[in-house]
Structure 1
């Protein structure tokens, strides 16, 4: 049986202040950047392969995650720091301005990049950014976030994940949570998870966007929401961001991880959205 064709990947490392970034480049053409937090380049690989047919596609492991080690593992990873990392990657490739698709914490990174370097971003697609500070009940949400982080750091991994999914509005049976996060696990996945809980989650969800800067930037801002994310926390935060910017949210297939669950369908929709402008 013939195997599916693979897209050549050029994997490299870029030294940035406080970290060494693993990044990957595919294809040729206008630059598209796919970024997550804490999701790494692996999660975006299938979508990147599809977009590489007519784009140069950049993916990266964010600082402190997987193949992007940091000099100080006890320091926080803030959206501003990760935005600076992206800015340096885009400048290093000398291929901008870019289309930047950020998902979850990566969407926060992408918005911070637009605020700091709007000239580097032609279009930003912020897919379900967890901007909790835009919510009316932000104080309660922040308290619950701090509680689940404390539970994780105290060693209650399963309890922390249950609290996380409860706060996110994602219903998962205990058996599924135990299967995903209990028992023997990959050491790198555990290290990435700990970094996220300890140093990346809170700085990301408490980041406050500069609505005036985003609204006045030459960058086209798209706020994406998965059609199956209705009622979830990131559906609420995304709608709050879109309302603050005075734009309608753009619906994508799937849920919070639709780009990874069904990259083919997601790529078709992304191309439609990019053609609309």
Structure 2
């Protein structure tokens, strides 16, 4: 069922960048964060939640409509968390429930560590950080090979290695359909930034377990019901175990919020209702 809402589009100047953000609805503040996914990827989920929440989505720094002063600056979870902190303060509507997926999940965790007073609940959906995995050195070497492959111009080869590392199996021919042929120049630019300036810092992020465990905000680790055996499933379960919390299952896989925003919103709303 469609619940499209009108979004108020604005820009916030932050150190080194201009942050594109969109606001929908009214009620308790929910921030939806991705990396490298931009605000558009979260729009259907934001529309679902806007009936009873103020929902904020952003393009992370350097992606799509959030230009950098220095295009060669690396994007780290700590920098992105600082951007979200400034945005929440600017809106003066916190503390917020912060839902982050993939690289955005790492951003959400970094925000709890640096600005816990701005967060009511941090929902980290499938963070790809491999700091707590036993094969992290192998994963680090694979990541460097993926980046090097991309820099040779072999985009399909890089994505094939990325999917293999993530343990995501695609049907024959789908990889070429997704990343081959004529492609949107903005998508290609965002992809280039992800591989060259964002991937490394995101997966190498080291959680401060003591700070996360002791933080007043509630920390939730989310996993897709269809992500069993994938890299982000393993990384999420390792982090949940280290924090001594039970992971919460969400509909779909790594991008369940894109594929089924209605069911995903219902689960997120249920988690949000436990914020107290």
TM category (shorter chain) comes to over 0.9
Which of the residues 54, 65, 68 maps onto 1:67? 65
TM-aligned CA distance change 1:4 to 1:223, over 3 Å: closer
Structure 2 counterparts to residues 149-228 of structure 1, below 5 A: 149-228=147-226
Residues of 1 paired with 2:231 and 2:4: CA distance? 36
Residue aligning to 1:33: 31
Residues of 2 paired with 1:29 and 1:271: CA distance? 12
Which of the residues 10, 32, 49 maps onto 2:47? 49
The secondary structure found in structure 1 opposite 2:191 is helix
CA deviations over 1:227-261 (Å, ceiling 9, x no partner): 10000000000000000001111111100000111
CA deviations over 1:136-170 (Å, ceiling 9, x no partner): 00000110011011100111100000000000000
Residues of 2 paired with 1:256 and 1:8: CA distance? 27
Residues of 2 paired with 1:136 and 1:5: CA distance? 43
1:274 maps to 2:269: no
Residue aligning to 1:245: 243
Contact 2:97–2:122 under 8 Å retained in 1: yes
- Quote how far apart the aligned CAs of 1:174 are: 4.6
What are structure 2's unaligned runs of at least 5 residues? Answer: none
Residues of 2 paired with 1:71 and 1:150: CA distance? 25
- Quote how far apart the aligned CAs of 1:5 are: 5.7
CA deviations over 1:33-79 (Å, ceiling 9, x no partner): 00000000000000101111011000000001000011111110000
Residue aligning to 1:10: 8
Contact 2:94–2:119 under 8 Å retained in 1: yes
Residue aligning to 1:262: 260
1:127 maps to 2:125: yes
Residues of 1 paired with 2:163 and 2:113: CA distance? 30
Residues of 1 paired with 2:130 and 2:172: CA distance? 25
Residues of 1 paired with 2:242 and 2:129: CA distance? 12
- Quote how far apart the aligned CAs of 1:119 are: 0.4
Report how many residues are paired.
275
- Quote how far apart the aligned CAs of 1:8 are: 1.4
Residues of 2 paired with 1:143 and 1:48: CA distance? 37
Residues of 1 paired with 2:248 and 2:2: CA distance? 32
Residues of 2 paired with 1:36 and 1:155: CA distance? 25
